[in-house]
Structures are given as structure tokens and as C-alpha cells.
Amino acid sequence: MYKAKTGVVKVGDRQIRVDKCMVHLIRHINEYMPCVTLGCCSGHNKYPMTIIVKENNGLRFELLSNIPIPRTRRFYKKDKEGFYYIPEVNK
């Protein structure tokens, strides 16, 4: 099973783990955009990079593809090799 290196990002009053290569990007998104990051994955050279955000109006979508995500949690699925992906983005 694949195990990614992770870093910590503060989102509101919580600290969340994200792929280490995305720490600075996620910090900037949460600091400079009117949204909150709910989940992200670099794709690990298998899937596209994804960042799920929630806007102030409550809409959730994948930021890089602009695809709406209807779920409020469990955004990612795990494939047989242990890599995470978002089904809506990987059709």
C-alpha cells in the first residue's frame, strides 16, 4: 500500500494532514480565497491533483476542475493499490 509523506495545515481552529508537497498551496488557498479546504491530494503521479473546497455559500466543489461535489464527507475513494481519487473527477 502506498503511504504519502504528509504535512500539517491549520484550517480554522483545526490542524489537518495534507500531502507534504501541497502544504504551501493549501495554506495560501485558505488564507487568500473565500473558501475552506475540505480535502486534497497531489495525485501521486497516478491521478490528477485535486483540492475540495467549500465556499462561504456552502457549495462544495473540486477547485481545479470546478466539478461540484455533492457529498459532505468521504470525498475520496481508495483504489486497489491504496491511492486516493475523487470519482467525479476521474470519469
Count the domains in the chain: 1
Question: Is 32 part of any domain?
Answer: yes
pLDDT score of 1 more than 60: no
Residue 14 has pLDDT above 90, yes or no: no
pLDDT, tens digit, for every residue of 32-76?
988 888 889 999 899 999 999 999 899 999 999 999 999 998 999
The answer to whether residue 60 sits within a structural domain is yes
Q: Rounded to an integer, what distance in angstroms lies between the CA atom of residue 25 and that of residue 3?
A: 20
Query: To which residue does cell 502544504 refer?
Result: 23
Task: Answer whether residue 62 is part of any domain.
Answer: yes
User: What is the percent of the chain with per-residue pLDDT over 70, rounded to a whole number?
Assistant: 96
- Helix then strand then coil, % of the chain, to nearest 5: 15, 35, 50
Q: Determine the structural domain holding residue 80 and report its residue range.
A: 6-85
In a domain, 91, yes or no: no
pLDDT at 4: 66
Whether 2 shows a pLDDT value over 70: the answer reads no
- Alpha-carbon distance of 7 to 5, in angstroms, equals 7
The answer to whether residue 67 is domain-embedded is yes
